[in-house]
Amino acid sequence: MPDASVVLKWAFDSSDESDKDKAVSFLNAWIDGKCEIVLPKLWSYEVGNVLMMKIPEQAHEVMEIFLGYDFTEYDMSLELCKETFKIMQRFNVTFYDAVYHAVAFLQKGKLLTADESYCKKVRDMKHVMSLREWDLKF
């Protein structure tokens, strides 16, 4: 299950965008039914914010494509809040980062992130994988 750092890689065609090929491969695996994408509801706000800041001329078109994928969204609940707060306290990370991780945990999946610093902070916890390490075999 990707976080916003992976979703955003689908939008940028920059040559310095590391691991874009893996991010696109993950999206294609989802399209082919080989993996699942479940995102916290805040994903569209986070992604939309970055798109408008980085590529304002294309933000509307890209967001239309992303929303058209109709990803499964995980509703905020007391259970999700509780798990998110646990991750925040244990690893000193933001709610925004931790909620993706908590969704993966509650769904018994893995968070896929391009945020290497987040991966280092939570390396003792399961349910997280760096995009750099992702392979379709997982």
Tell me the C-alpha to C-alpha distance, in Å, between residue 93 and each of 27, 88, 112, 119: 26, 5, 16, 11
Q: Quick one: pLDDT at residue 138?
A: 44
Q: Quick one: pLDDT at residue 134?
A: 80
CA angle 58, 64, 70 (to 5 degrees): 145
7-26 pLDDT, tens digit each: 999 998 766 678 888 999 99
Tell me the CATH number of domain 4-133, given options 3.20.20.70, 1.10.3470.10, 3.40.640.10, 3.40.50.1010: 3.40.50.1010
- Do you know the residue count of the chain? 138
Q: Quick one: pLDDT at residue 133?
A: 86
Phi then psi dihedrals of residue 124, to 5 deg: -80, -5
pTM tops 0.85, yes or no: yes
Sorted by where each begins, the domain ranges of the chain are 4-133
Stretch 73-85: mean pLDDT: 97
